[in-house]
Each structure stands twice: as structure tokens, then as C-alpha cells.
Amino acid sequence: MNKNERHNWYLTRGKTAILIDGGFFLKRLKSLDKQRNNWDTDYVVKMIQILCVEHAAHMEQQIYRVFYYDCPPFDLGIHNPLSGDFVKFNTTSQYLFKTELFEKLRSMRKMALRLGRISLNASYSWQIKPSKIHDLLTGKITVKDLDPEKDILPSLQQKQVDIKIGVDIASMALKHQVESIVLVAGDGDFVPASKLARREGVDFILDPMWAHIQPDLKEHVDGIRSVLFNLKDNKSKTESRDQHVKTDMP
């Protein structure tokens, strides 16, 4: 090899699977793109495609499959404890948004949609927004000052999502279906699965979307890389891949 020729000795050839924690992805996307007004499902799908192409291009790998994990939107009706009104959640903008998003993801190339379960908390059906709890405890406001439409939320529990992520990681690793796995997430629930995958020879990459992660998580992955919104120039970074999406991930 020519001494002037650069070679990436950390490059893993083959196929990669990209696993996306949907709740985390949407939360971080809104945080990174606060100035955007048009939050439609087409935009979210496009950002998912860009994320996948960026990772595959960086690792010079083919995309084996994209896994998107979330829960169906809450569709029951319950009484608001402050206003007394009966709220039908299957008519809310969030319900319509997620329903439309899931339909579009189902038709996306190489996409596997993994849905868990969502239910009301058995102990209490509503909760106060964290930003208002401090004001209540310090006496700045009273319960009467709370806005029944904005300051309280249904207390929902998401189930089976983490299990589905772990099972998919373990299955692909043990069956040697991929050479690398990219996980878009921000907590340490994946650590047992990532350990198993690495022991099976899988290159395990974490994409926290620029979120802070605990230092001890770094020892359980092979690399950390965020690809959406280069913080120095997020606009040009996103737009530069728009054309690649149409050809690489139809």
C-alpha cells in the first residue's frame, strides 16, 4: 500500500441495520429544529431517510433494514379533572399525526414498524406538566391557575418497546444477519443487548442525536455518531442529503 494512501482500518464492510426509538427521535428532532413551523409527516419521513443514508454512506454499507419503534397513539376518551370535559383523544392532532406517520412508514423502503402498547397509568389518569410542578410547590401558582388544556396531560405508560428493540438486536446478532447496528436512542436500556451483539462480532454504533449521554455508556458501544443537523451548520447539512434520499432510499 502506498504510504500516502489513507485507509480506514475501522471500516466494517457488509450490511447495517438502523434501529430508531421513535419517541426519542421525534423529541430530539423538535429540539434540534426549533425554528421549523411546518411539522408534517412528510418532513419526519424525510429526516428518517436522511439519517439512514448518512449512516450507511459513512460506513460504506448497504442498509439491511430500518426498524422504527413506537406505540400506537392513545385513542380512548377520559374526563379532564380540571374542566370536567370529556376528552376524545382519537380526534386530537397528535393522534392524527401519528396515525398518518405510521401509514407512511409502513410503505417506506426496507422499513419494519414495531409497535408496542400504550395504556393509562393504573394509579392516576392525569399528571401535571413538570414545568408547573415547581411553581405549585413554591407557591407561585395554585391549582386554580392551571390551564386544563395545556398544563395537565394523560398519564400514559409505554410498554414492550424496549423489549422489541432488545429482541431484534439479539436476533440479528445471533443469526449474523448484519455486520453493524446503528441505534438511535438516548438511554442505557439497550446495554445488555449491545453487549451480546458486540460479543457476536457486530459493530454497534449509538446515535444520540447530539443529546448528552452518561459517560459509562460509551464502554458498551463501538462508536458514537450523530448525523442529523451538524450543529455548526445544520441547514446545509440537512439539505445536502435531500437528493440522495430519492435515489438511495426510494
Q: CB-side exposure of 7: number of CA atoms within 13 Å?
A: 6
Q: Are residues 56 and 89 in the same domain?
A: yes
Q: Are residues 205 and 112 in the same domain?
A: yes
4 lies in a domain? no
Q: Are residues 138 and 190 in the same domain?
A: no
pLDDT confidence of residue 5 = 57
Q: What is the CATH number of the domain that holds 107?
A: 3.40.50.1010
Q: Contact at 8 Å (CB) between 234 and 47?
A: no
pLDDT confidence of residue 242 = 43
Domain count, the chain: 2
pLDDT confidence of residue 37 = 81
- The three-state (H, E, C) secondary structure of 170-225, written as one string: HHHHHCCCCCEEEEECCCCCCHHHHHHHHHCCCEEEEECCCCCCCHHHHHHCCEEC
Q: Are residues 31 and 89 in the same domain?
A: yes
Q: 63-101 burial, b for 16+ CB within 10 Å, e for fewer?
A: bbbbbbbbbebbeeeeeeebeeeeeeeeeeeebebbeeb
pLDDT confidence of residue 190 = 92
Q: In order along the chain (250 residues), what is the average pLDDT of each group of 10 residues?
A: 63 91 96 88 97 95 97 94 94 95 97 96 91 92 94 93 97 98 94 96 96 88 93 46 42
* Phi-psi label, residue 201: left if phi above 0, alpha if psi -120 to 50, beta otherwise: left
Identify which of 90, 8, 43 has the alpha carbon closest to the alpha carbon of residue 228: 43
Identify which of 57, 13, 16, 10 has the alpha carbon closest to the alpha carbon of residue 172: 16
Reported pTM: 0.86
Q: Are residues 165 and 181 in the same domain?
A: yes
Partner residues linked to 69 by β-bridges: 21, 114
* Domain boundaries, position 140: 121-157
Q: Are residues 52 and 129 in the same domain?
A: no
Q: Are residues 74 and 179 in the same domain?
A: yes
Q: Which amino acid is at 54?
A: E
Q: Are residues 171 and 220 in the same domain?
A: yes
